[in-house]
Amino acid sequence: MFVVIRFLFIDLIAGCIVVVIILRRRPTLIAGFFIAGGRRLIFIKTRGLLIAHYDQSYPNRVSLDLPKVYPITDTQLSGLSHAEQVLRLIEGGATLIQLRDKHAAPREFYREAAAALQVARDHNARLIINDRVDMALALKADGVHLGQTDIPAGAARRLLGTEAIIGFSTHNIAQAKLATALPVDYLAFGPVFQTLTKENPDPVAGLVALWEVGTIKGSLPLVAIGGITLLNVHDVLKAGADAVAMIAELIADPGKIAENMSKMLTLTSTHPNNSSVS
């Protein structure tokens, strides 16, 4: 039968090719195809716009006692090794830390991360590796933090197993919606404010978008990131974030890492929003 395509939309969101076709028939048909690495194809016929995910929400979320403040290391900004930053952050009260390094060669990062992990283990803190599932696996780190262009969350979960913490970065509402169906343990959203730390950051999302993500995230813990400081952290938590991830505000002054961390924990501990999530 002859049909007229009124609207065709193709996009790449969270590693999935998303095709939405609106056909001119009565009643109007909206078809959505989500193709994830050729694994699954879903066809939807509906009168309304229906967003379907190729995967169902992940039922076995890691019991994540998410602290309010989630620091991230940066060797260039702090001038310190990852291990030294981890030690200072732990002295200030950090219990969950992410190692992020966009410049080190893999072998150098592996060696540094192994030393940082030893420090974390000695102090009962958990360590998440940014980007590199292979490093997390080889080091037996506590988990990995993935971005939109990293290995898909499902593949990381298969490699790391159900006990690993997997975090996932999102930068807009559409990405956040798709992320709620992924096998991840927390959702990061940002940059909420302007950041000078990340190279080529996505556009500033703002507090309203953060609040909107809070309304669609379901039980997934929400970590806000990007330009968060002592001055705006309360607004960020009020907007619905369960935790704040921070780089510059905590580690840019290497002599004050422990002090800054401790200050931030004290400041945020008074916020009513408590996110012990399982």
Which one of ligand TZP, Mg ion, none is in contact with 206 (Cβ closer than 5 to 8 A by kind)?
A: none
Stretch that binds ligand TZP, among 36-44, 55-63, 79-87, 219-227 (CB under 6 A): 219-227
Give one DSSP letter per residue of 237-275, joined into a string: HHTT-SEEEESHHHHSSGGGHHHHHHHHHHHHHTSS---
Using the minimum distance from each CB to ligand TZP, give the nearer residue, 32 or 190.
190
Tell me how far apart the alpha carbons of residues 193 and 205 are, in angstroms, rounded to a whole number. 7
x/- letters, 234..273, toward ligand TZP (CB under 6 A): ------------xxxx------------------------
User: DSSP class of residue 9?
Assistant: E
Sorted by sequence, the CB contacts under 8 Å of residue 89 that are 6+ apart come out as: 71, 73, 97, 250, 251, 257, 258, 261
169 is catalytic: yes
The size of the interface with Mg ion (CB under 5 A), counted in residues, is 3
Structure tokens, 98:
């992410």
State yes or no: is 100 an active-site residue: yes
**Contact between 226 and ligand TZP (CB under 6 A)?**
yes
> Is there binding between residue 185 and Mg ion (CB under 5 A)?
no
Q: Note whether 128 and 98 are within 8 A (CB).
A: yes
Stretch that binds ligand TZP, among 1-9, 35-43, 190-198, 210-218 (CB under 6 A): 190-198
Choosing from 88, 126, 169, 275, which is the catalytic residue?
169
Q: Does 75 bind ligand TZP (CB under 6 A)?
A: no
Alpha helices in the chain (DSSP H): 75-78, 82-91, 106-122, 133-139, 153-160, 173-179, 206-216, 233-238, 248-251, 257-269
Indicate which residue of 61, 68, 100, 132 is catalytic. Answer: 100
- What is the C-alpha separation between 143 and 238, in angstroms, rounded? 27
Select from 3-11, 195-203, 209-217, 235-243 the region that touches ligand TZP (CB under 6 A).
Answer: 195-203
* Interacting partner of 71 out of ligand TZP, Mg ion, none (Cβ under 5 to 8 A depending on kind): none
- Closest approach, Cβ 228 to ligand TZP, in A, equals 6
228 binds ligand TZP (CB under 6 A): yes
Question: What span, in angstroms and rounded, lies between the C-alpha atoms of 160 and 141?
Answer: 10
Q: Got the DSSP string for 206-225?
A: HHHHHHHHHHH-TTS-EEEE
> What residue ranges bind ligand TZP (CB under 6 A)?
190-191, 195, 197-198, 201, 225-228, 246-249
